[in-house]
Structure 1
Amino acid sequence: MKWLAAILSGLLLALPAAAADYAALPGGSFPSVLPADGKAAPAQIAPFALRTEPVTNGEFLAFTLKHPEWRRDRIAGVFADGDYLSHWASADSLGGSISAAQPVTRVSWFAAEAFCESEHARLPTWYEWEYAAAADSHRADARQDPAWRERVLRWYGRPSNVPLPDVGGSPDVHGVRDLNGLVWEWVDDFNALLVGSDSRDQDGADKFKFCGAGAISMREKENYATLMRVAILSSLKAPNTTTNLGFRCARSK
């Protein structure tokens, strides 16, 4: 019966993938933890659309089958480190211990960006991601609520070696799920989060390049969970992969 299962699996993978859901977000003026001018100016975010859920193992497997250059046994070393998709059973199979509905992890920035391009999308910017992640089920910005901050921060204390749950948490006010409490997520400009856009803004000390010094200029310092995201993302390189780093895509309006 193994041959029959293989045929059925192949037929399922050959079926057109269901279109991903994207939610429209209005954008606007947003007080980011990283001021737009390095001092106090809010970020100005244009309206955009965001994938309602992180990309899953099943979706990324279908992508690699259609674009085999992104398989783990074919990807160029410059685009991913040695742990890229290493938790899958093989280059073209998830295996029995991996759920197709779990968020895909151990993917590089390059691979995440390529997937988004295949959906005629892109990775969200940090400001877009932070703006979306500030919401809860009934508020667009819940960051001043101590209970919200505690709930988000609680996830950061959980062990990272336990199996990830499937995507599909409760939607926020925008209809977006799992921005907090499931995985870290790549953003397009991850490598510029703690670097000033103009070296003259850095007082000759590269103060934005290092977490400790950069934090001096951050706002919302009580929002420790978001500051941790900034620190982690800014420490990465584009080929890096980790066990709890996934992604979702965005589209400009």
Structure 2
Amino acid sequence: MNALRSLPILMLGALLSLPAAAANYAALPGGLFTSVMPADGKAAPVTIEPFQLRTEPVTNAEFLAFVQTHPQWRRDRVAGIFADGRYLSHWAAADVLGSEAQPSQPVTQISWFAAQAYCESEQARLPSWYEWEYAAAADDHRADARNDPAWRERVLAWYGRPSNTPLPAIGGAADVHGVSDLNGLVWEWVGDFNALLVGVDSRDQDGADKLKFCGAGALTMQQKENYASLMRVAMLSALKASDTTSSMGFRCARSH
């Protein structure tokens, strides 16, 4: 994340002004969690502190309200360093949603910078990968349903959806934490997206361990049966902070 903490982040902070509308956040207890990205790069669980997570992804309507009060994030005004040319390109105009972007659909074509700016306007931040993965492991009655083949099958079914299918509106069934739509709606930015395929401890980057620091090596990590999580790691790691895609949205988090 060092590159993201340089000049662009300083500029990003200067662009924030009025707060966004209030949103619902659910409290998650945290604790020890077995991630597909082990804490020691081998097998150690991670410790997740209690945090709050937005119960739904940010919608087109919410992001429209944000750009209306933060016009520097309109697609016709945003600095090129913060967003590529596809940023909000599915909207009818810089401040009009249009038929291709329904108000209750999750906003997409959003860069990491824009997502982080929105979250800061809610006095929040993007969740870390570990926080997002921990939250996404739940179902309606278990905090961790990943060992259930039926749960994994439902999650993987989303990847078979044709890419030209219109996005559903938010509002899926809530999980045990009260959070919805973590799986099966859109990909979601995380705060540390560009560090996911970097070794946990850079001091062990010797020749014998090189595979751990590239995509091919990363996909040999533990819990290989949780293919959906590994796909998200690979997807996020392939992006730059200014990139946007038609299936990438976000939600915000807060530390307790």
TM > 0.5: yes
Say whether 1:131 aligns with 2:137.
no
Percentage of pairs with the same residue: 73
Aligned mate of 1:147, from 142, 145, 150? 150
Which residue number in structure 1 is paired with residue 12 of structure 2? none
Aligned mate of 1:235, from 209, 223, 238? 238
Give the residue type in structure 1 aligned to 2:168: P
Aligned mate of 1:249, from 232, 248, 252? 252
Say whether 1:84 aligns with 2:87.
yes
Say whether 1:187 aligns with 2:190.
yes
Looking at structure 2, the residues matched to 211 and 249 of structure 1 have their Cα atoms a distance apart, in angstroms, of 27
- Kindly provide the CA deviation profile for residues 20-59 of structure 1, in whole angstroms up to 9, marking residues without a partner as x: 0000000000000000010111010000000000000000
Aligned mate of 1:212, from 193, 213, 216? 216
Aligned mate of 2:120, from 117, 121, 135? 117
Give the residue type in structure 1 aligned to 2:237: S
**2:151 counterpart SS class:** helix
Give the residue type in structure 2 aligned to 1:77: G
Looking at structure 1, the residues matched to 99 and 185 of structure 2 have their Cα atoms a distance apart, in angstroms, of 21
TM-score, L = length of structure 1? 0.91
TM-score, L = length of structure 2? 0.90
Give the residue type in structure 1 aligned to 2:62: E
**1:79 counterpart SS class:** coil
Looking at structure 1, the residues matched to 185 and 100 of structure 2 have their Cα atoms a distance apart, in angstroms, of 18
Give the residue type in structure 2 aligned to 1:117: E
Give the residue type in structure 2 aligned to 1:148: W
Give the residue type in structure 1 aligned to 2:211: K
Which residue number in structure 2 is paired with residue 225 of structure 1? 228
Give the residue type in structure 1 aligned to 2:216: G
Deviation at 1:91, TM superposition (A): 0.2
Return structure 1 stretches of 4+ with deviation > 3 angstroms. none
- Correspondences of 1:151-190 after superposition (within 5 Å): 151-190=154-193
**2:213 counterpart SS class:** coil
**1:160 counterpart SS class:** coil
Which residue number in structure 2 is paired with residue 54 of structure 1? 57
Q: Structure 2: give runs of 5+ residues left out of the alignment.
A: 1-18
**2:78 counterpart SS class:** coil
Q: Structure 1: give runs of 5+ residues left out of the alignment.
A: 1-15
- Kindly provide the CA deviation profile for residues 194-242 of structure 1, in whole angstroms up to 9, marking residues without a partner as x: 10143332333643332211223x1100111111000100111100000
Larger Rg: 1
